Amino acid sequence: MNKDQTKLFDDVETVTYDFAIDSVIAIDVPIGTDPDTDAVWERLYNKLALRLREKDLTFRFENVFDSETGVYDENWEDYKRETDQMCVANKVMEEDKDALKELGADK
């Protein structure tokens, strides 16, 4: 991202999107080769770099992470940052539910 692009986010609340690489990297090796050797790993890194340059990778969206609240969420479309007061209220409600369950009064 260049300076002009980062300026767009200066006044905007941001979150982190986590992605996983969902592609198989395959290399040919002689039968019986130990897969945990420097030579094999070097070939894998080279193949990954090639696939990256060619944009030949599949990424899978995993979740949203909000570093300000510590919250993970899979619903990126409807994600809203809770205020501290809302977080406290939700925590109290959850604790009340747990207390009711322990007393058997949740039925």
Token reading at 24: 């198989």
pLDDT tens series, the chain, 107 aa: 565 555 556 678 899 999 999 999 999 999 999 999 999 999 999 999 999 999 999 999 999 999 988 999 999 999 988 765 555 556 667 777 777 777 776 55
Does residue 87 lie within any of the structural domains? no
Does residue 93 lie within any of the structural domains? no
pLDDT at 88: 56
Does residue 71 lie within any of the structural domains? yes
Q: Are 43 and 81 in contact (CB under 8 A)?
A: no
Does residue 68 lie within any of the structural domains? yes
pLDDT at 43: 97
String of DSSP letters for 37-56: SHHHHHHHHHHHHHHHHTT-
Q: Are 47 and 25 in contact (CB under 8 A)?
A: yes
Does residue 22 lie within any of the structural domains? yes
The number of folded domains in the chain is 1
Does residue 101 lie within any of the structural domains? no
pLDDT at 99: 73
* Phi, psi angles (nearest 5°) of residue 34: -65, 120
Q: Are 69 and 75 in contact (CB under 8 A)?
A: no
Longest dimension (CA), the chain: 66
Does residue 97 lie within any of the structural domains? no
Does residue 89 lie within any of the structural domains? no
Domain region containing 19: 3-77
